[in-house]
Structure 1
Amino acid sequence: MSTHEWQAPGPHDKRSPCPALNALANHGYLPRSGENITPSQLIKALKEGLNSSSFVAYYLTYSSLHLLGKLCAKTINLDDLNQHNKVEHDCSLTRKDFYFGDNHTIDPELVDLLLEQNIDGKINYEALSKLHWIRLNNLKESNPTLIYKNPQKFASAGEVALLLNFIGGNTNNEIDIEKLEVFLKSERFPEGWRKPDKVVGIWSLISILRSTLKKYDQLEKEQNEQRNAN
């Protein structure tokens, strides 16, 4: 096996609610066991596997450790990220909410719903925003413990920015649905994909994050106008 060939996790390997971190482990950029990962290993994996800038890699690593209460920890396991409402949050696009019993395993039905939002066979921030709005409205009815405030809204938009920059970085921040399905369902880098040619820096992330938050607000406004009209 080559150093970064994909390998499915074993029954005792640890994985997180984040498909990108899981893919980095499945491809050997992180320890394949998902255990005893140092901050420096996380930073190196983000840079080598996804062409993250040093600043973004440091920020993602240490902000996550802070949220987990592990800022001084020497190592973490990927399943440490399963703690509810720390890094993981309600209204995920690919995982069920904590209330339903499993907030970290990929839900193929949610991925299929995501792929259905495609625009001409591609997923962009508008498609992901639409799915987010569908999910949020559904969960308001079905999850009595739903936590969705500004931090969760910001985190959700941030994840859109990360996905489109890291996986769609070479395709104008859009992702073909066939490649996205492989990435999300198998947590592997799809055939023909390569990490972004251009280093992913903070400003490219902020650009999509802002566009996504603006789209969220637009969808909310349209929904409120429709309710008032009825």
Structure 2
Amino acid sequence: MQQVFFQEKRDEKHPLLENRGSGPDGAHPYHRKMLGCPCPAISAMINHSYLKVEDSSQKIPVHKLMIALVECYNLSWTFAIVFAIVGTLRLGKLFGFSIQELGEHGKIEHDASMTRFDADKGNALDPSPELIDQLFQSLGSGVDSKNKVVTLEDFAKKKLELESRLTKFENQSKDHINLLGRGEVCLALQANLCLRSGSESPKAGTASSDEGIAAKTDWMRTWFTEERLPVEQGWKKPVAKITLLGTLALMREMKAHQERLSRKKGALMFS
């Protein structure tokens, strides 16, 4: 019943359906498709034709997902293979999956998202401009954030806040939700990485080089809200490969941030 409701909502005129912005090259222009995909990274690949998907029931072959991840975000082949195979198996499939299957609650789609409502509170599949505005306002970035960056610690704090509000774990354990959340944050930051030195560095980062990985907030806002690559804002395909080991290291770093924040909060409560 819930899936039917969301499908009806997606069929209505949507304020984000207008095509805005170009693509990274002539073969990958931006064309928005509201398919109810819970993953911003996959949605952007569909909207730029790295993945050619016309409706939510169409199967995405696992090998095509691997190729798209390498071509669009410069994932290493090892990471792309692991990402695609593990995700497909998690959905109970072997050779591929549909967006409809990806959106099944409790497998990969999860609560405590920064950009989508929890399953029992609203549309858990499409991005909510309202939630995204709240996200960047809570990070102190404001609406016009051209000269600001968001860091791993910023997202670690926000995810910890969202996960602390959860009270139902029938479909997924708290640890599983936390693991998925850390994975998506670390991939999102690397896909929108703000280089702070070198000829291709955006001259907008306000964080110093010792503050760790960061992404431009206007890139992240566009990527989250419109599910596209913000090339006209200066986004480029990551120069350095996004690797499995590098992502796992970032996930460990994010977990450490969250543990420190939890200890600090606990200490304040008892002080």
Which TM bucket (shorter chain)?
0.7 to 0.9
Cα distance per residue 1:93-118 (max 9 Å; x no partner): 11111111421110112212221215
Gap change, CA 1:127 and 1:118, over 3 Å in 2 = farther
| Amino acid paired to 1:96 | F
In structure 2, the residue matched to 1:182 is 222
Aligned ranges for residues 1-230 of structure 1 at < 5 Å?
A: 2-9=26-33, 14-33=35-54, 35-70=58-93, 72=94, 74-116=95-137, 117-118=139-140, 121-140=148-167, 147-168=172-193, 170=195, 173-190=213-230, 191=232, 192-229=234-271
- 1:183/1:189 contact within 8 Å kept: yes
Cα distance per residue 1:122-174 (max 9 Å; x no partner): 1111110111122223444xx69685521211111111111111221645731
Cα distance per residue 1:43-62 (max 9 Å; x no partner): 00000000000111011111
- 1:90/1:146 contact within 8 Å kept: no
Q: Give secondary structure in 2 for the equivalent of 1:99.
A: coil
- 1:36/1:75 contact within 8 Å kept: yes
| Amino acid paired to 1:8 | R
Cα distance per residue 1:51-105 (max 9 Å; x no partner): 00011101111111111001x2x43212211111111111111111111142111
Q: Over the residues paired in the alignment, what is the CA RMSD in angstroms?
A: 2.2
Gap change, CA 1:169 and 1:36, over 3 Å in 2 = farther
Kindly name which structure, 1 or 2, has the bigger radius of gyration based on alpha carbons: 2
| Alpha-carbon distance in structure 1 between the residues aligned to 2:173 and 2:258 | 13
In structure 1, the residue matched to 2:207 is none
- 1:114/1:128 contact within 8 Å kept: no
Cα displacement (A) at 1:204: 1.6
- 1:30/1:45 contact within 8 Å kept: yes
| Amino acid paired to 1:122 | V
* TM-score, normalised relative to structure 2: 0.75
* Same amino acid, percent of matched pairs: 25
Which range is displaced more, 22-31 or 207-216? 207-216
| Amino acid paired to 2:45 | L
Q: Give secondary structure in 1 for the equivalent of 2:59.
A: coil
- 1:123/1:176 contact within 8 Å kept: yes
Gap regions ≥5 residues in structure 2: 1-21, 142-146, 197-211
- 1:23/1:189 contact within 8 Å kept: yes
